[in-house]
Homo-oligomer: A and B are copies of this chain.
């Protein structure tokens, strides 16, 4: 159970170093917008899946990851 929690925190928080780097350097040339489009689609579907199953760990981790990765997609358009 702790293992799943730590795993969920890692996969949810992974985008934070990328957000920080983009915000600090204002450069995103080498980052693929396609990656974030596909990822956001997947995270949105996971969130809907969680809602349909009333599975709160799935809703919370994927919903938060959805917000963070959407911010990264915004940075990709802002700094390009």
Contacts and interface: CB of A to CB of B under 8 A. Distances in A.
A45 to B, nearest CB: 4
A20 interface: yes
Tell me whether chain A's interface is mostly helix, strand or loop, or mixed. Answer: helix
State the copy count for this chain: 2
Interface in A18-51: 18, 20-22, 25, 27-39, 41-43, 45-46, 48-49
Interface residues of A, number: 40
Given A10-B41, A41-B10, A43-B11, A17 B4 contact: no
Interface of A: 3-4, 6-18, 20-22, 25, 27-39, 41-43, 45-46, 48-49, 52
